[in-house]
Amino acid sequence: MIVKCLTKFFKFGLVSIPLIALIFAISSSVCLASCNQIQSDLSSKAVEKRLLPVGQVTIGADLPTSPAELGPDAGQKRYESNCALCHAGGLAGAPKFGDKAAWVPHLAKGMDTLLQSVIKGLNAMPPRGGCTTCSDEELKLTIKYMTDKVK
């Protein structure tokens, strides 16, 4: 009886041990794959990306808008940090800073149109001249700083 029982147990064991090992291997690899997924979703880049719109809204709400709040050299500062990249050297067809002849056709459009061009972007110029944190008022002061130099 005991012998019969033992042989049955071993037969079962011979089949079931690799089977259990296989199930274990499959389930653990599934777990590893999904764990990696979770880990990559928690990477600082992914988290930053998810937080970004919230941060932008907060920054946007706090943006100073009046020229008085922005200070007298706001236009120059923004020009130097965001626009000089293209406009200092006339990159990609940008009207060069201080180059009166290059600015003539642009000045003729008037401030409102120039502001709209910068807000929406124009040909090689990205929307807002690439300054996503600049308020409309800041962009206007920056354009004024640039155009005053060629009047």
- Under 8 Å CB-to-CB from 100, ≥6 apart: which residues? 150
How far apart, in whole angstroms, are the C-alpha atoms of residue 104 and residue 108? 6
Residue among 48 and 99 whose Cβ is closer to ligand HEC: 99
96 binds ligand HEC (CB under 6 A): no
Residue pair 98/24 in contact (Cβ under 8 Å)? The answer is: no
Q: Does residue 122 interact with ligand HEC by CB under 6 A? A: yes
Q: Give CA angle at 28 (25, 31), nearest 5°.
A: 150
Q: Which residue is nearest to ligand HEC (CB)?
A: 129
Residue 70 in contact with ligand HEC, rule: CB under 6 A = no
Q: How far is the CB of 147 from ligand HEC (least distance, A)?
A: 7
- The C-alpha atoms of residue 51 and residue 47 are separated, in whole angstroms, by 6
Note the residues at the interface with ligand HEC (CB under 6 A): 78, 82-83, 85-87, 91-95, 106, 109, 113-114, 117-118, 122-126, 129-131, 134, 139, 142-143
